[in-house]
Structure 1
């Protein structure tokens, strides 16, 4: 097990069932990686002198403290990795507060409510904002997802070397003792894909991609020799292919690209779309970590 993969695991709670499920997932993950666990409940700050506004801010502050107490009760004295747990209520919006807790060596965990697709597209969420712009790795645990060990771990890899994405996937597979599926998706146009399949020269894309992936995977296989993995190369829409066949007790790992949450929804970015559509926890890997031994 790589006990230095995460310096700390930070989980946001608001008292909802979804955030408490995220807390359970974060606690297991911190325990597996020997990382510190910090629980954060955010509340807005007072920006208006009007008594009515002050009353709403005070109510939100009380709700944040209640969420922090509920998290403490949920943990029942559990000390992941033998470490004390830090539980705090902090001022500010949830997305801003949690993003401030995220560095290249931290994991930030949030829950995701089961909103309708129309609501998600218009309103976005804390999870979408973090997946789009946080500097470190983000885990999004959707409503209904399993919080115990996953059945399998799937990682989406692109055409260029993404060592932190593969490294995160291998580290999770190693810590959790689960198999890894390495999925590379190429091509989005079914007509062009069909024409390429008719060309014996162009059809060699599968073999070329397999050789490239083999070279990139060799480093991580040597580092984590107990991890078993399979390589799947497919053409099609990246989002639909990444989500295909996933169930609530899987884990998906994808690379992130920094942008605003609104831009992600408008441009249909892969991380934003899989975070909002996956039935299982999703790890979005943003930053390059310091090398781990």
Structure 2
């Protein structure tokens, strides 16, 4: 994955207000990182051989073309100039097609509709399915996220995260000229979670974790000296700690590993929980280990 997205940004649109918000976020990211922007609108093709299905397919195709045209209109009004943009209308499942494109682009962006408590817990969506299965980085922009650049970027890091997680956060903070908060939840490992708060062994373990994190952060700070960065250590449930205090004006960056959408929802992975409840955009940077490809 390119942590500066130079190999392109793809955004999925369906004509909804949420997808136009995702388009605006993606266009801003493409401008900041001088990346090619591709807008994709999809329509499903049912497998059934029912003779009346042709009309339904035509309606879905027309809807996709209207969504693509709405995206062109928005870009013409809000992003004038000679920026490199491609608009594509294609048949297929949105999550699958966007996931496939994430193999060859730097970032895929989608919107997220507001969901009720029950929906967040059990229902699937294009955004959650895409974030769970895409091999590349995914940004999910929820309904109600503030337009424009964030006031703060919060990146959740673990001791075994790949460098791209911190790198992506630093690159975004530098491009968007905002503060960066590096957050590590100490109880995210078995040893720390099993020890009492005041136990000297626990204190030693957490100090070692903080020193290791400070060293990793220092290396990125040398590359991005303009980024104001703070390191925060917290105990607790990782998803709850990462979500605490977030506003629509923030941006969250987390690491992820590919898995099937149903497994991710059942196990309540940290990225999945954030995608369903964070009030701000969330960027999931996937680790590219062979075991997860």
- Regarding TM over 0.5, the answer is yes
In structure 2, what is the equivalent of residue 132 of structure 1?
A: 132
Give me the whole-angstrom Cα distance separating, in 2, the residues matched to 1:149 and 1:20: 16
CA spacing shift, 1:176–1:48, aligned 2, 3 Å = same
TM-score (norm: length of structure 1): 0.91
Alignment of 1:1-293 (within 5 A): 4-76=4-76, 82-103=82-103, 105-187=105-187, 196-287=196-287
Conserved 8 A contact 1:153-1:250: yes
Give me the whole-angstrom Cα distance separating, in 2, the residues matched to 1:107 and 1:187: 30
SS of 1:155 mapped into structure 2: strand
Give me the whole-angstrom Cα distance separating, in 2, the residues matched to 1:220 and 1:86: 33
Give me the whole-angstrom Cα distance separating, in 2, the residues matched to 1:263 and 1:215: 34
Conserved 8 A contact 2:138-2:283: yes
CA spacing shift, 1:80–1:179, aligned 2, 3 Å = farther
Deviation for aligned residue 1:81: 8.6
Conserved 8 A contact 1:137-1:287: no
Gaps of 5+ in 2: none
Deviation for aligned residue 1:105: 4.5
> Where do 4+ consecutive residues of structure 1 move more than 6 Å?
none
CA spacing shift, 1:157–1:81, aligned 2, 3 Å = farther
CA deviations on 1:4-43 (whole Å, 9 max, x unpaired) are: 5331110000000000000000000000000000000010
Give me the whole-angstrom Cα distance separating, in 1, the residues matched to 2:253 and 2:81: 23
TM-score (norm: length of structure 2): 0.91
Deviation for aligned residue 1:52: 2.2
Gaps of 5+ in 1: none
CA spacing shift, 1:158–1:121, aligned 2, 3 Å = same
Number of residues paired by the alignment?
286
